[in-house]
Amino acid sequence: MTLRLAPHPIAVRLIAVLVVAALLVGCVGIAAAAGDGATGDGEARRRLLAGLEADLDANPSVPGEVVAVRAPGLDVTVAAGLADVSEGVPLRAETPFRIASVTKTFVAAAVLKLVERGDLRLDAPISKYLSPESLAVLRADGYRPRRITVRQLLTHTAGLFDYATTDAYDAVNVDDPGHRWTADEQLRFATEHGDPLGAPGKVYEYSDTGYVLLGEILGHVTGEPLPVAVRQLVDFRRLGLNHTYWETLEPEPPGGVALAHPYFDTFDGAMLDPSHDLYGGGGLVSTVGDLTRFYRALFHGRVFDDPRILRLMTKISGPGRRAGAGMGIFRVDVDGERCFGHLGFWGTQTIHCPRLDLTFARTTNQADDADFDSDPLERVIADLARAQDQDS
């Protein structure tokens, strides 16, 4: 499945301006000792680790990779390579990382919990839920918030220009990587550097701007800050998401492992203030274990009480049909299996395949992956799940 579901680019020219002290070439080794970078047992672990090693051999710019695979009779996590190139820190099974746009699945689930409770209407205009300040910014750029719905924000069909894909946004991060962005500033940036892309509901365009607005809506409806709203609505504690948190907006879980460094080629994304992608389009830190736990809970009926809400979430919109876009989730193909998931900019991927009851999460902590072929390892993962399915 060689797809790019969630573009949130940091321009290539970052490399020329800010370069890490140590180059990846010659620094990437295989570090997956049992009990440190690998869990699970037997043939499944051996095959997965061989797949990770093959990925790193074929892609020398990828510092490391970790993957967790869950299915009936299958519970394996393996890791290889480095979490921090300059310090030579191995990537481990429990290493947390910025999940970037995979955050959107959490945000969409939180919004849909409000819909399930009757506290928010999908087809209500966003003018009902946004602050006067945000509405004024949108109207000044020609948007008509009374004609844009919550549903359209969720499905990327609101016609909103995306601040995160502009050269101008990249330039600010190049010039001042420590800049502390606000959600209001990012909304203004979107309206200052682009105009409406089309009539609401008529055009699909992936947009972090829309999910920043959803973050504001969550705060307005619940009366809580975005991290608290998502944590409570999704119910992190009940689902056992003990290693998932909003970077800099919540305290790190106690006793955790150091955050994996996210790379764009040799540029170390740890140099960027997390606020560049923090307010709904991204922002969460998690582990492969927590991500598989969340997706299995989502598809096993532990997030929504009403199964119709999950069907609504995974329904592909008309304008988003080519992209396979639902609400904070995409329909994808994994080795011939019909699956659902999301990608994140820093090499993150979380997928669930209902027929096999297969869930996997992985990260390569490398955003510059245009030539990275994810299909070989996905074939290994799908084959492992099929073998378990045949044996059961």
Asked if residue 324 is part of any domain, the answer here is no
Judged against a pLDDT cut of 60, whether residue 2 lies above it is answered with no
Residue 25's pLDDT is 33
| pTM greater than the 0.85 cutoff | yes
Asked if residue 197 is part of any domain, the answer here is yes
Asked if residue 62 is part of any domain, the answer here is no
Hey, which residues does 339 pair with through a beta bridge?
A: 332
Asked if residue 156 is part of any domain, the answer here is yes
CB 259 within 8 A of CB 244: no
Asked if residue 222 is part of any domain, the answer here is yes
- 3-state DSSP call for residue 133? helix
Residue 11's pLDDT is 38
Q: What is the pLDDT of residues 286-322, one digit of tens each?
A: 999 999 999 999 999 999 999 999 999 999 999 999 9
Count the domains in the chain: 1
CATH (domain of 140): 3.40.710.10
Question: Mean of the per-residue pLDDT values for the chain?
Answer: 90
Residue 39's pLDDT is 57
Judged against a pLDDT cut of 50, whether residue 26 lies above it is answered with no
Asked if residue 301 is part of any domain, the answer here is no
Give residues with Cβ within 8 angstroms of 244, minimum separation 6. Answer: 236, 284, 285, 286, 287, 290, 294
Average pLDDT (365-379) is 89
Is 61 a catalytic site residue? no
Q: What is the pLDDT of residues 175-199, one digit of tens each?
A: 999 999 999 999 999 999 999 999 9
Asked if residue 366 is part of any domain, the answer here is no
- 3-state DSSP call for residue 175? helix
The pLDDT-based confidence of 42 (bands split at 50, 70, 90) is confident
The domain of 238 spans 95-283
Question: Which position among 61, 101, 286, 374 bears the catalytic label?
Answer: 101
Asked if residue 370 is part of any domain, the answer here is no
CB 384 within 8 A of CB 47: yes
The pLDDT-based confidence of 29 (bands split at 50, 70, 90) is very low
Judged against a pLDDT cut of 80, whether residue 23 lies above it is answered with no
Give residues with Cβ within 8 angstroms of 48, minimum separation 6. Answer: 67, 69, 76, 78, 377, 380, 381, 384
